[in-house]
Structure 1
Amino acid sequence: MRVVLADDSVLLREGLARLLEEQGMEVVAQAGDAEDLLRKVGAHKPDVAVVDVRMPPTQTDEGLKAALELRERHPGVGVLVLSAYIEESSAMELLSDDASGIGYLLKDRVGDVDRFVEAVKRVAEGGSALDPEVVARLLGRRRREDPLDVLSPREREVLGLMAEGKSNHAIAETLVVTERAVEKHVTSIFSKLDLPPTVEDHRRVLAVLRFLGSGGGAAS
C-alpha cells in the first residue's frame, strides 16, 4: 500500500511515516504544502494521501482545497484528512459528492495506532473513515436543520457507526447486539431512505451521505 503524507510539520510527517512503514506500508513521498502534495500525488499515484487541513501559506484550508482537487484529478486515490479540531464546513464540503475513499480524523486519533492504521487502509481500499466526534457533530447539525424523523434512534445510531466505516459485525460488537439485528436495522435504513437495491457498499455510502444532508441528490 503506497502513501503520500502532507503536513507542514516535519516532525509529525516523519512520525507518521515511521508508524505506517512499521505497519508494512510504503510512504512514497512527503509534502510540506498543498502545491507540493498535488505534484507528488500526480507523480507517484499512491493508494492514499494523508493530508492536514491547514497548510502554508495561510494555514487556513489549503489542505482541504488540495484534498478536493485530488478527488477531482485522481478519483482513484483515497484521501484521509487530518484536522486539529472539528471543522463542520470542511467535513461537509469533503463529503458533498461521495464518501467512498474519504476519511476525516481528528489528529488526536493518531495516538491510537491501530485505529489510525485501520482508517488509512480502509480509505485506501475505497471505504470511508469518519471520526466519531465528527459524525456526532454532523448528525446533530442535521437534526437541528432538518430532522430525519423516519429513522428511529437506534437506526440513527447504526447509521452513525456505518459512517465511521464499521462493518455489520463491528457494529454488532459495539452495540452488543446480534449481527442479524444489525442487518435488520441496515435494511430498514435503506428502505426508509428510499435507496434502491444496488451494490451493498455503495448503498452504505449513499445512506451516510443522505443522513448527513450532504449528498441528498446522490441517490436519485
Structure 2
Amino acid sequence: MQDSQAGAQAPPRRLRVLLAEDQYLGREGTRRLLQEHGGVDVVAVAGDYDEVLAQARRCRPDSVLMDVKMPPTYSMEGIQAAHVLRDELPGIGILVLTQHDDEGYVWALLQHGVEGLGYLHKVRVGDVEQVVRALHEVAHGGSVLDPRIVARLLDYRRNKPGSPLAQLSTGERDVLALMAEGMSNQRIADALYLSMGAVEKRIAAIFGKLALAPEAQLNRRVAAVLIYLRESAELPPGTPLPR
C-alpha cells in the first residue's frame, strides 16, 4: 500500500523576522499584524540600536524590520544598524521604516549598494500584505523603495530639460512606479490591465532609455528607480551614488 504522504510537498518555511521599534505599542501592534498574517515568525524584538545588533547576531533572522530613528540619539540608528548588519551578516534583508519623506535617508541607506535593502513609509504598516511582500523581497536579495517618494520625485523632475526621465512615456512611468513597489511583471500586468508581453516591452524600453547595462549582478529594476533619486536629491559634492 502506497504511503498517503508520499510525494507531498513540505510547507514553505516561514520567514523569520526581527522587529526593532522603540515604542512599545507600535512594536506590539506591528508584531501582532505580522504574526496574524501567516508565513511570518517574529523571532525577536528590539527597542534600540545596541539591542537590534545583539538580537540579529543571536537569532540570525531572514529580515529585519526597523525604524530609522531609535535610541540612544533618535537620529539615523536604523540606517547605521543596517550597514553594520549587512557587513556582518551579508545574507540578511533589511527593511527600514520612517515617517519622513526626506530622500536623504534613502541615500544614506543605499550609498553602498541596493541588494537586500528596502525603505518604506510607516503608513505602509497598515498594509500588512505590502510589508510582508517587502520583507520577502529583501530577504531574497531584492530591493524596495516607497512609491510615495518615487512619485514625488517623478513629479518634480520628469519635465526637467535633459533629464533621462523626460524620455519615458506615460505608460513607461506607470510601470516604473510599480517596479518601485517591488512588484513582479505579472502583478504589474494585473494592476495596469496589460499583457505580460506589453509589460516586458515597457521594462525593456525603460532600461534602454535610462542606459542601464545588462550585467548579471546589477539589479536593474531598482537601478531604474534610483534614477529618480539621482535626478532629484540635492547632494553635497562627492556624495557616493548607489551602485
From 84, 90, 113, give the equivalent of 1:75: 90
- 8 A Cα contact 1:51 1:67, kept in partner: no
Offset, 1:18: 2.3
1:104 to 119, 122, 126: 119
Select between 201-210 and 103-112 the one with higher mean Cα deviation: 201-210
Give yes or no for the alignment of 1:41 onto 2:53: no
Matched, 1:190 2:213: no
Q: CA deviation at 1:129?
A: 2.4
Aligned residue-pair number:
218
How far is the alpha carbon of 1:212 from its aligned partner? 2.9
Do 2:95 and 2:120's aligned partners in 1 also have CA atoms closer than 8 Å? yes
Aligned match of 2:140 in 107, 122, 125? 125
Structure 1 position 9, deviation (Å): 1.0
Residues 40-76 of structure 1 deviation map (CA, whole Å, 9 limit, x = unaligned): 1122211100010111122222222222322233221
Label 1:147 to 1:38 Cα distance change in 2 as closer, same or farther (>3 A).
Answer: same
RMSD of Structure 2 on Structure 1 (CA): 2.5
How far apart are residue 207 of structure 1 and its match? Answer: 2.5
Residues 1:217 and 1:70: Cα distance change in structure 2 (over 3 Å)? closer
Residue 15 of structure 1 is aligned with which of 22, 26, 29?
29
After superposition, the Cα gap between the structure-2 partners of 1:165 and 1:7, relative to the gap in structure 1 and judged at 3 Å, is same
- Out of 17, 24, 37, which is 1:3 matched to? 17
Task: State the partner residue of 2:100.
Answer: 85
8 Å Cα contact 2:34/2:132 also seen in 1: yes
Corresponding letter in the other structure for 1:62: E
State the partner residue of 1:208.
225
In the TM superposition, residue 109 of structure 1 has moved relative to its aligned partner by 1.4
Q: What is the distance in 2 between the residues matched to 1:200 and 1:188?
A: 20
1:179 to 1:44, Cα distance in 2 relative to 1, 3 A:
same
Change (3 A) 1:191 1:66: same
Instruction: Confirm or deny that 1:61 pairs with 2:76.
Output: yes
CA distance in 2, matches of 1:68, 1:141: 29
SS at match of 1:2: strand
CA distance in 1 between counterparts of 2:21 and 2:241 reads 32
- Aligned amino acid, residue 108 of structure 1: V
Instruction: Check conservation: 1:101, 1:123, Cα contact below 8 A.
Output: yes
Deviation at 1:81, TM superposition (A): 0.7
Which amino acid in structure 1 is aligned with residue 103 of structure 2? Answer: E
**Cα gap change, 1:169/1:201 in structure 2, threshold over 3 Å: closer, same or farther?**
farther
| Gap change, CA 1:137 and 1:145, over 3 Å in 2 | farther
Secondary structure of the 1:81 match is strand
Does the 8 Å contact 1:53/1:63 carry over to 2?
Answer: yes
What's 1:51 paired with? Answer: 66
Larger Rg: 2
Asked if structure 1 preserves the Cα contact closer than 8 Å seen for 2:63 and 2:95, the reply is yes
Which runs of 5 or more structure 1 residues have no equivalent in the other structure?
none
Maintained 8 Å contact 2:153/2:228: no
TM-score under structure 1 length normalisation: 0.86
SS in 2 for 1:86: coil
- CA shift, 1:119, in A, is 1.9
Does the 8 Å contact 2:111/2:242 carry over to 1? no
